[in-house]
Amino acid sequence: MPEVSRGGVRIHYEVAGHGQPVLLLMGLGVPARGWLPQIEGLQSGYRLLLPDNRGCGQSDAPPGPYSMSQFADDARAVLDAEGVASAHVVGISMGGMIAQRLALDTPQRVRSLALLATHAGGPTAIPTAKALTIFRRLGTGPTAQERFDLMGELLYSPAFFRQHRETLRHSMRDPALARQMTPAAWRAQVSAITGHLTLHQLGRLAHLPALIATGTDDLAVRPINSRFLGAALPRARRVQWAGVGHGCNVEAAEQVNEELRRLFVSAPT
């Protein structure tokens, strides 16, 4: 598997497919294999670059706290290692925050910007009380079974999690997804989220083709945040899926893939 070293920190990543490059940035505590529905749905037409964020998956977990700038620099190092001058950039949750920072720091590296179930900081960025309770429990080093139940409750609508529980459990047997973060690495990633604030800078990205998408049942990033992202990026296409939770890339996989293809085609090559 390819990897790149930045400042002594080893960042693991995967590459799938051929075509225009797409950089997919995953959220808190989930390795790049969390994009599996997009890997399966998009690799026939696109070259997918999928890094494990520092602290997670097979990447190194240096002492924290971490910052969005560090994550963005790590992602840019992956682009450099693959010889990619610019890519479509897709981020979900914390990955969407990384995508914002990457685009703000180096807009010339971003062909289009997809922000899924994410926020730009500020007062509305506080999760629901239920999500905060889950975050705290995940930060204490739960067992594998406890982590599965907590993540399922956090990421998906109750109906979806009940219906697909065994399928989701089977997917967790993937070694990349089964590998747990240390509590210290979890807290280090959380620290980057709490320090994230780009709301008043996003107008600089108004020229980019963009997608802003969320589910109505998102506990971790309340749907109102997409409204504020949309106000900052008024030309962006906004989508909201009824009855879908935070993990929209899984729960609404076909719709997400369709919207991403639509975005990529709209962007200048």
Which pLDDT tens digit goes with each residue over 102-120? Answer: 999 999 999 999 999 999 9
CATH architecture of 3-266: 3-Layer(aba) Sandwich (3.40)
Average pLDDT over the chain, rounded to whole? Answer: 94
The token pair that represents 136 in the structure block: 């705290």
The mean-pLDDT minimum among 121-125, 157-161, 169-173, 197-201 falls in 169-173
Looking up tokens 């506080």, which residue turns up? 126
Q: What is the pLDDT of residue 19?
A: 97
CB 25 within 8 A of CB 98: yes
DSSP class of residue 142 equals -
Q: What is the pLDDT of residue 20?
A: 97
State pLDDT tens for residues 49-82. Answer: 999 999 999 999 999 999 999 999 999 999 999 9
Taking the C-alpha atoms of residue 176 and residue 186, their distance in angstroms, rounded to an integer, is 16
Question: Which of 38, 19, 28, 18 is CA-nearest to residue 248?
Answer: 38
